[in-house]
Chain A
């Protein structure tokens, strides 16, 4: 009785284990089905077929199960027997001896079963794999196959199974490679690519299907062995080995791809899907870089190298740039559509190198100047954008931009025939270049600085003249009669002029001419706006400091003080009831040293001038002790009332003209000698004065004989028949030659002033160094002095300072100087 009880628990345990195994198998089969369906269309078809089979005959499942059981029938028999015994035990407890015997038999028989089972299973799985590889129907259901794999793995036969699967896959790959190779010789490249693509896609689908069947092995055996590839990786590995080893097939594939790409680059429409799929294949096989990319980049280089040379000759630079831009866009499209992203940098780099970097010098030399000259903003923007992608691109562009400005600017500055429009041309040129830097070159600081440096370079290529012309330009703007310009516009113009002024090295030349023109504006009352004058002065002060503008400020102050003095003088004259009450006298008192130097002139003046002058002298010197006044006849102007037959006129004339005309009050007819003796006006000045009175538009005196030149024997008469529609007539002094002489005199004065600056610089340097060689002294001077200077001039100044004992030559070394304290 006790023995019978012991046997029962063993039976129960065995039944339980079997039940669990069956349940697990069913669950895994369910898991496999969706995966297979999702894997590929082929998988779906197979699964659908399986479903149909299941639906058609429910009994099919049972026979399958029975068959599987039948292959190792004794085990199933044992199980069945156990069940039967269990039932019999329930009914007939009196037969425990039979149960004992049966159990013993089971244990003894197990070892003999696996050999047959594994062999049969191998055959079955092999048939299934081959059927998949050949795209043929599978005899067995996927669930059944999956279960077979599970059983094999569970009984320690996974290693052999894996090896077998690998062998089958390798044979399949080899067969396909040879097949393509055999027919590849005469095959069109495109057809070849399509076949390879189709084969690759099929292979992938097959591997996915196979992996689904062998999923259990992938999850257990593969993961437990680090040296074993997953089924998918194993398939790719085999494919790569044989595809890569077969250089003919691989080469043809790559060549085909390159041919398609070249056609696309030439403008043809190609199958991008095909390209994408094959490129993806190469990536998956991990031979993209080694087998394709290298050749692709080489082909790209060759294509664009040849193309760029051809296009550079055929096209103008703007068209070439647009072509480059188009090519870059196309290559980016290719990257987006079918090339691997890892190719982006080398591809774009190579395109930029071949199309831009290799022709950088040619592009700039050939096209930059015309783009800048013609103000091609969009093309310049494109040029900057493209060259920014290239190493040294912007540096080269900046250098050539600088060169253009220097060359173009120099033509504006150097040509004397363009002097009249030089300043306006420079302002326009600066505006144009500023717009280009701001709009096309992204306000790049390097270009801004380059522009500035170039302007400073070329504007000083010609000594003195640019400074003089800028001063004259300012004079033109600040003078009255400057119509059509608002204060705001004038202010803006002055700001722009200050930019040009900042570039000039010889600022002292500018100051000299500016001062001379300012003096004229102030003395003749031609200044358009006091505010504008003050504004310009403050700009100069801000730029160069108070020392530069102190004298100019003094000029304005003198004019203000003069107004006060004249008001006081008028009061003084009225209270004294002198002869001046009939004459409107207005004297500008100038401080010597503030104003340009005017040569002293001695002329004989009639009492109409001498008397009020003496009265004013007395008045002024009583007010300011210790001073003396030097009158400047060349700067005065008068208003005369003239009596003609046609009626009286008011004449606005210079002082010299007035002196001449007043002589005719005493004697209506005068010879040149008589006028000269009576006035003592300098000969050249007198001739110009008479010319303006007798040969100009308003001829208040007549000359005998007629002609435009004033000769010594000429005779002059009062022109009583003079007529003019205007009551007030201005007669201009002729002063063309005087202007030229003035310019040279101004330049000479600047040169003289510069000698003092050179002396001061030499003394500063020697005082600091105490002892210095000649060459070092010259070098230091060139660094310190801001205006152009010649070594010969420096040498003269050095000798002068030695003579004046500021420094001495070294006794032992003639090339060395010592500072004398």
Chain B
């Protein structure tokens, strides 16, 4: 009981809480760094054999990224949860509407953005 008043006196507080003791260290600002990547099971696009984080071969060759941003080279997932470059898959399904890995009927589950 005697200790409590001492703490109050020793540690002046900026907060409105009169009775609450002030902490020794308070976090005020945090400059954080986070690395984003596609949430995929396999890093490699099975169609063009390039990592999904990079543009596909055709976009790299055409240097389309500068003009169209990253839209066409985002990742696309099928219902089977296999993922490819959207560019690569768009061309693939024109010939064969099946997943190149598991041969299931291709249906887009979601697209990265």
A residues adjacent to B (C-beta < 8 A): 523, 546, 583-593, 595, 598, 608-609, 612-613, 616, 620, 624-632, 635-643, 650-651, 655, 658, 661-662, 664-665, 668, 718
Contacts and interface: CB of A to CB of B under 8 A. Distances in A.
Contacts of A592: 35-37, 53
20 contacts: A546-B63, A584-B29, A590-B34, A592-B53, A608-B27, A616-B32, A624-B36, A626-B38, A626-B110, A626-B111, A627-B38, A628-B36, A628-B39, A631-B33, A631-B35, A632-B33, A639-B29, A640-B28, A643-B24, A655-B32
Interface of B: 11, 22-40, 51, 53-54, 63, 74-75, 77, 110-113
A625 B112 contact: yes
Contacts of B113: 624-626
Contact of A635 (B25, B26, B28, B33): B33
Given A632-B32, A637-B31, 9 more contacts: A585-B30, A625-B111, A626-B75, A629-B34, A629-B35, A630-B34, A631-B33, A651-B25, A655-B30
A523 B33 contact: yes
A638 to B, nearest CB: 5
Contacts of A629: 34-36
A628 B37 contact: yes
A650 B27 CA distance: 10
Contacts of A584: 28-30
Q: Which residue among A587, A627, A630 has the maximum number of chain B CB atoms within 10 Å of its CB?
A: A627
A587 B34 CA distance: 7
B79 to A, nearest CB: 14
A242 B33 CA distance: 109
Nearest to A637: B31
B32 A718 contact: no
B24 A589 contact: no
B11 A643 contact: yes
B14 to A, nearest CB: 8
Given A592-B53, A593-B51, A624-B112, A641 B33 contact: no
A779 B33 CA distance: 46
Q: Which 3 A-B pairs have the closest CB atoms?
A: A626-B112, A635-B33, A639-B29
A343 to B, nearest CB: 71
Given A592-B53, A593-B53, A643-B11, A718 B34 contact: no
Contact of A589 (B31, B36, B39): B36
A589 B11 CA distance: 39
A640 B23 CA distance: 11
Contacts of A627: 36-39, 112
A643 B33 CA distance: 27
B32 A588 contact: yes
Given A583-B30, A626-B113, A595 B35 contact: yes
Nearest to B112: A626
A588 B34 contact: yes
Nearest to A662: B25
Contacts of A588: 31-34
Nearest to B76: A626
A589 B34 contact: yes
Given A626-B39, A626-B75, A626-B110, A586 B26 contact: no
A634 to B, nearest CB: 8
A590 B24 contact: no
A349 B110 CA distance: 87
A522 B30 CA distance: 16
Given A592-B36, A627-B39, A609 B27 contact: yes
A593 B75 contact: no
A610 to B, nearest CB: 11
A661 B24 CA distance: 9
Given A592-B53, A626-B110, A661 B25 contact: yes
B33 A590 contact: yes
Contacts of B35: 590-592, 595, 598, 629-632
A658 B34 contact: no
Given A592-B37, A627-B39, A641 B26 contact: yes
Contacts of B33: 523, 587-588, 590, 631-632, 635-636
A638 B29 contact: yes
Contact of A642 (B25, B38, B39, B77): B25
Contacts of B28: 583-584, 638-641, 650
Given A625-B111, A626-B75, A638 B36 contact: no
Contact of A612 (B30, B34, B74): B30
Contacts of A546: 63
B24 A642 contact: yes
A614 B23 CA distance: 24
Contacts of A589: 34, 36
